[in-house]
């Protein structure tokens, strides 16, 4: 957890919404010098803080509308802090809660050096990252259609398996295998939707790969030297990490990627683990996938996993391998070196 603790003359807390935003400005003594509900508008905000621009820091809670205010502050040379929503418990507690109170609490946390920071992803790669996340959402929707067709086949106990429906050849006569007209129509709808998704996803992937070469070609190429990491996993890692330099230690990176378990202790007693939802879910998925694809066609990798499984069980062995991939990725990107499997498996 990182806190913002730089000193300023003025501290601005914003409770941000789509149409309105409550803005509170405190001075260095903690006195409220301005507190007003504004339209969610760049000019209105800049006009409101004009008297305090000489030395002000702005903070807002991480929610889906923070992009524009972060970009505005960056363009105006104003320090901006993005508050970590899960850590900002002080906002959600209290007997009363409204936008005015929340904006004041954000400003108070900011001034007191107790505002937990989330990473304000820079604008340069942010739009492509969101496009990649949208691509992954569409792929999951397409996978649901594949699953629905297979489940329907099982419902009616068709004698022949349908095979891998991701291959166009196996989708050619699927609907004709069902006798009932309504079931056949159901399958035709699924197949049409799959084709529609394919028409969108395939060119979308080409566009994202093209952007990756413009944003960070070195990291994109280095990540694909890991056995089992193809273009999609490499893209997810590139755009979710953004720059490896923002992580001071490999432990910070592993924690951000949800590759470690955090213990809960009190009075010398341990009460299990926590923090599973704090971190980047997309990186967690990417490294979990990488640990599975790593052993495909990789005899040395499979033998290594088998040794781990004998000691810890298969589920935990895969988690250990995912953690190991995360650590290897950190040092690969830090040192700008390709993956070395012999070194990877020797530790």
DSSP letter string over 204-252?
Answer: HHHHHHHHHHHHHHHHHHHHTTSTT--HHHHHHHHHHHS-GGG-SSHHH
Same domain, 342 and 255: yes
Domain for residue 107, yes or no?
yes
Dihedrals phi, psi of 284, to nearest 5 degrees: -55, -45
Domain-terminating residue out of 181, 215, 249? 215
Residues of the domain holding 74 = 10-118
Q: 276: pLDDT confidence band, cut at 50, 70 and 90?
A: confident
- 130 lies in the same domain as 111: no
* pLDDT of res. 91: 66
Query: Is residue 152 in some structural domain?
Result: yes
Q: Are 43 and 135 in contact (CB under 8 A)?
A: no
Domain assignment present for 2: no
Beta strands in the chain (DSSP E): 10-16, 20-27, 32-39, 56-61, 80-83, 117-118, 262-266, 269-274
Both 235 and 332 in one domain: the answer is yes
Which of 161, 182, 215 terminates a domain? The answer is: 215
Look at 46-55, 71-80, 87-96 and tell me which has the smallest mean pLDDT. Answer: 87-96
DSSP 8-state code for residue 160: S
Rounded mean pLDDT, 161-166: 93
Domain count, the chain: 3
Q: Classify residue 3: in a domain, yes or no.
A: no
Bridging pattern class, strands 56-61 and 10-16: parallel
The predicted pLDDT at position 20 comes to 96
Determine phi and psi for 338, rounding to 5 degrees: -75, 165
For residue 263, tell me if it sits in a domain: yes
| 223 found inside a domain | no
Least Cα distance to 223 among 235, 215, 212 occurs for 235
Over the Cα atoms of the chain, what is R_g? 25
Whether the predicted pLDDT of 87 surpasses 90:
no
Residues 288 and 333 in one domain: yes
- As a whole number, mean pLDDT of residues 29-57 equals 96
Whether 337 has a pLDDT exceeding 90, the answer reads yes
Note whether 297 and 201 are same-domain residues.
no
> What is the chain's mean pLDDT, rounded?
93
Q: Does 80 score more than 90 pLDDT?
A: yes
Q: Is residue 225 part of a domain?
A: no
Confidence of residue 269 (pLDDT cuts 50, 70, 90): confident
Instruction: Say whether both 139 and 168 belong to one domain.
Output: yes
Count CB-CB contacts under 10 A for residue 305.
20
Do both 339 and 239 map to the same domain? yes
Of 8, 97, 29, 9, which Cα lies nearest the Cα of 61?
97
pLDDT tops 90 at residue 262: no
The per-residue pLDDT for range 218-242, each reduced to its tens digit, is 999 999 999 999 999 999 999 999 9
Q: Are residues 314 and 253 in the same domain?
A: yes
- From CA 209, how far away is CA 201, in angstroms rounded? 12
Is pLDDT larger for residue 97 or for residue 197? 197
> Mind listing the pLDDT tens digit for each residue in 289-314?
999 999 999 999 999 999 999 999 99
Q: Does residue 176 sit within a domain?
A: yes
- As a whole number of angstroms, the distance between CA 245 and CA 68 comes to 24
Query: Does residue 235 sit in the same domain as residue 342?
Result: yes
Residues constituting the chain: 347
Which residue has better confidence, 262 or 183? Answer: 183
Last residue of a domain, one of 215, 247, 282: 215
Give the model's pLDDT for residue 92.
66
CATH number at residue 39: 3.30.420.40
- Which residues, in sequence order, are bridge partners of residue 38? 21
191 in the same domain as 159: yes
C-alpha distances in Å from residue 302, one per residue of 1, 10, 294: 36, 57, 8
Q: Are residues 321 and 265 in the same domain?
A: yes
Pair (323, 247) in one structural domain = yes
Q: Which residues contact 240 (CB under 8 A, 6 or more apart)?
A: 129, 280, 282, 283, 286
């Amino acid at each position: 957890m990182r806190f913002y603790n730089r000193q300023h003359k003025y501290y601005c807390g914003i409770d941000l919404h789509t149409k309105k935003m409550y803005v509170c400005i405190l001075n260095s003594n903690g006195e409220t010098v301005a507190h007003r509900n504004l339209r969610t508008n760049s000019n209105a905000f800049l006009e409101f803080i004009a008297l305090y621009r000489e030395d002000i820091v702005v903070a807002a809670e991480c929610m889906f509308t923070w992009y524009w205010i972060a970009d505005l502050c960056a363009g105006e040379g104003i320090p901006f802090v993005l508050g970590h929503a899960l850590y900002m418990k002080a906002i959600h507690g209290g007997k009363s809660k409204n936008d005015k109170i929340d904006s004041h609490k954000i400003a108070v946390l900011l001034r007191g050096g107790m505002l937990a920071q989330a990473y304000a992803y820079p604008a340069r790669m942010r739009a492509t990252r969101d496009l990649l996340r949208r691509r992954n959402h569409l792929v999951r929707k397409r996978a649901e259609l594949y699953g629905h067709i297979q489940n329907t086949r099982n419902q009616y106990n068709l004698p022949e398996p349908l095979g891998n429906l991701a291959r166009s050849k196996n989708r050619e006569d699927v609907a004709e295998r069902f006798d009932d007209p309504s079931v056949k129509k159901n399958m035709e709808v699924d197949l049409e939707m799959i084709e529609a998704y394919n028409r969108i996803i395939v060119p979308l992937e080409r566009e994202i790969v093209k952007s990756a070469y413009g944003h960070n070609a070195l990291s994109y190429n280095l990540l694909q030297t890991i056995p089992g990491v193809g273009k999609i996993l490499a893209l997810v890692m590139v755009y979710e990490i953004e720059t490896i330099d923002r992580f001071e230690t490999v432990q910070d990176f592993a924690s951000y990627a949800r590759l470690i378990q955090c213990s809960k202790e009190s009075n010398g007693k341990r009460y299990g683990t926590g923090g599973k939802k704090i971190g980047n879910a997309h990186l967690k998925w990417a490294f979990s996938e990488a640990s599975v694809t790593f052993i495909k066609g990789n005899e040395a990798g499979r033998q290594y996993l088998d040794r781990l499984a004998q000691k810890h069980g298969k589920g935990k062995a895969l988690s250990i391998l995912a953690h190991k991939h995360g650590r290897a990725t950190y040092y690969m990107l830090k040192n700008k070196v390709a993956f070395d499997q012999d070194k990877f498996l020797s530790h």
